[in-house]
Amino acid sequence: MNKKRESLSVQKKLTSFFFLTSVLVIIVNIIMFININDAIESVNRVYYTNFLINEAKDALDTVQKSMTEYLNTKSTYAIEEYFDAEQQYKDRLAELETLSSGGDLGVIQSNILKLSDTYLSYTSRTIQAKRGRVVEKYRQSYDTAEEIYGYINSYFNTLNNERFKQNTRNYTGLMGSFRSLEYIVITVLVIMSVFNMVVTGLFTKNIMDPVRERQIMMETHLKDAELKYLQAQINPHFLFNTLNAGAQLAMLESADRTYDYIQNMAAFFRYRIKGADGDTTLAQEIGLVDNYIYILNVRFSGEIHFEKDVDESCTSVVVPGMILQPIVENSVNYGVRNIDMEKLIKLSVCREDNTIVVRISDNGAGMTAERIEEVMSGNAGEEEIMKDSNGVGLLNVISRMRLYYGTENVLKMESEGKDKGTTVTLFIPDINGGDDV
């Protein structure tokens, strides 16, 4: 069904568009997220040098403290604590050495590293002398180590203060950059949102305009068909009610044939006034043809023979209204009406792949290839075609079906020539693939 097909097409386009815009927004957010993380990481690294200096200074204090405690107590715990503290201090110095420093900070850092090597050599001598009980030697080493410890502590304090000042300046600059990045992120997101809304509006307008235009054209063609069909200026409801009254009167008078005739007439007109949207089912279209053939046979004394071969599984498909009866009417008027032999009209319905094929054929006057071309192109002479018909021409049927299904291949007309009959084939897309609608 064309409406479902259009809906799926629009849905596919919108889904693709929103997928692409969503991917674009995600990519922009990822880039911004990476930049923000880098900025945060830079801020976190600012004070890392102060943290490392404090760690090294704490390790130095532990070395001095554990050495002094061992000299006083000579306990196993104290010597183990000294060795652990010595290793930690060496590790901190190795990390401190990796810091890039220039100017006065570089000189201070270099002095700390050199003095620390000297200091650790004296603490080691002090420990060894104490373990060897060389009192005079460990006291001299201890005094020298303690003096160097004071120098190193002083350098650490100076380095820490200078680093803190430098890091504070860096931190202020990074926070300014971070705030600028926040503004950039917000601006980019606002621009992306506005862009997305504008493009979405334009995109959906381009999608929906053809759909609305097609719907308007479909309604115009349908109303044109209905107006031409009901040319008499009679209220259709009044006509329908009048026919019903006539049917009841015929039933009361036991005029069965008259009753059936009027009932078929009422059903015929009921079909035309029952709905406003123009959608119906193939089964209802076939029922309308049955009513029409019955009415004609009353008029022409049953001389029109009508045969049907219908696959009932195809009849629930939804179709635009008034597409079969005009073709059958043309078969009567221009095919079998004026022939002397049996007047035969056949209607067949079958499924071929995903298409429901409806064939209406007659054994009448037939048509030349040139005449078929004239009819299909709309050059057959409107007055001649409209004469004694319901006013719904073949071109109207073709136009409405093309609009409804969104495809050009909806109808084919064939004839082997004069007096060899005509076959009109309708191709109805089976959107449901054989399932009931």
**DSSP labels for 352-392?**
ETTEEEEEEEESSS---HHHHHHHHHT-S-HHHHHTTS-S-
Q: Domain check: are 196 and 305 in the same one? A: no
Q: How many domains does the chain have?
A: 2
pLDDT at 20: 77
* Mean pLDDT lowest among 96-110, 116-130, 313-327: 96-110
- Residue 362: what pLDDT? 94
Least confident residue range of 93-102, 184-193, 262-271, 306-315: 262-271
Question: Which secondary-structure segment (H or E) carries 46?
Answer: helix 2-46
User: What is the structure's pLDDT at 233?
Assistant: 39
pLDDT-derived band at 78, boundaries 50, 70, 90: confident
- 205 has pLDDT over 90: no
Categorize the per-residue pLDDT at 10 as very low, low, confident or very high, splitting at 50, 70 and 90: low
Q: Residue 392: its pLDDT value, please?
A: 53
CA distance 269 to 194: 54
Nearest to 272 by CA among 294, 245, 310, 239: 239
Mean pLDDT, the chain, whole residue set? 78
87-96, 177-186, 272-281, 340-349, range with the lowest pLDDT: 272-281
**Alpha carbon separation from 125 to 115, 139, 210 (Å, rounded):** 15, 10, 95
Confidence at residue 74, expressed as pLDDT on a 0 to 100 scale: 81
Task: Provide the token pair at 28.
Answer: 């922009």
Domain that holds residue 103: 2-201
Decide: 246 and 262 in contact? Cβ < 8 Å: yes
Residue 396 has pLDDT above 60, yes or no: yes
CATH number at residue 312: 3.30.565.10
Least confident of 77-86, 212-221, 224-233: 224-233
What does the pLDDT read at residue 426?
96
Q: What angle do CA 310, 322, 261 make, to 5 degrees?
A: 75
Q: The pTM is what?
A: 0.46
Determine, yes or no, domain membership for 178.
yes
Please check whether residues 197 and 305 belong to one and the same domain: no
What is the DSSP code string of 142-184? HHHHHHHHHHHHHHHHHHHHHHHHHHHHHHHHHHHHHHHHHHH
Radius of gyration of the chain (CA): 49
Whether the predicted pLDDT of 437 surpasses 50? no
Q: What is the pLDDT of residues 142-171, one digit of tens each?
A: 888 899 999 998 988 888 888 777 767 766
Last residue of a domain, one of 172, 201, 230: 201
pLDDT of residue 306: 93
Q: What's the pLDDT at 230?
A: 46
Q: State the DSSP code for 304.
A: E
Question: Of the residues 145, 168, 201, which one is the last residue of a structural domain?
Answer: 201
Domain end, chosen from 201, 223, 243, is at 201
Q: Is 265 within a domain?
A: no
- CA-CA distance, 113 to 115, in Å (whole number)? 6
Distance CA 29, CA 39 (A): 15
DSSP helix, strand, coil percent of the chain (3-state; round to 5): 70, 10, 20
Answer for the pair 390, 231: CB distance below 8 angstroms, yes or no. no
Closest CA to 430 of 280, 322, 315: 315
Q: Pairing state of beta strands 304-310 and 343-352?
A: parallel
| Cβ neighbour number for residue 397 with a 10 Å cutoff | 24
CATH number assigned to the domain comprising residue 168: 1.20.120.1730
Lowest mean pLDDT among 50-54, 89-93, 245-249, 283-287: 245-249
Q: Are residues 325 and 191 in the same domain?
A: no
Helices (H), 230-312: 236-252, 256-273, 282-299
In a domain, 117, yes or no: yes
pLDDT at 388 (0 to 100):
44
Q: Is residue 166 located within the same domain as residue 19?
A: yes
- 428 forms beta bridges with 356
Query: At how many degrees (to 10) do helices 135-229 and 103-131 cross?
Result: 130
Closest CA to 279 of 315, 321, 314: 321
Co-location of 165 and 308 in the same domain: no
Q: 315: closest CA among 355, 288, 286? A: 286
pLDDT value at residue 387: 45
β-pair type (411-414, 422-429): antiparallel
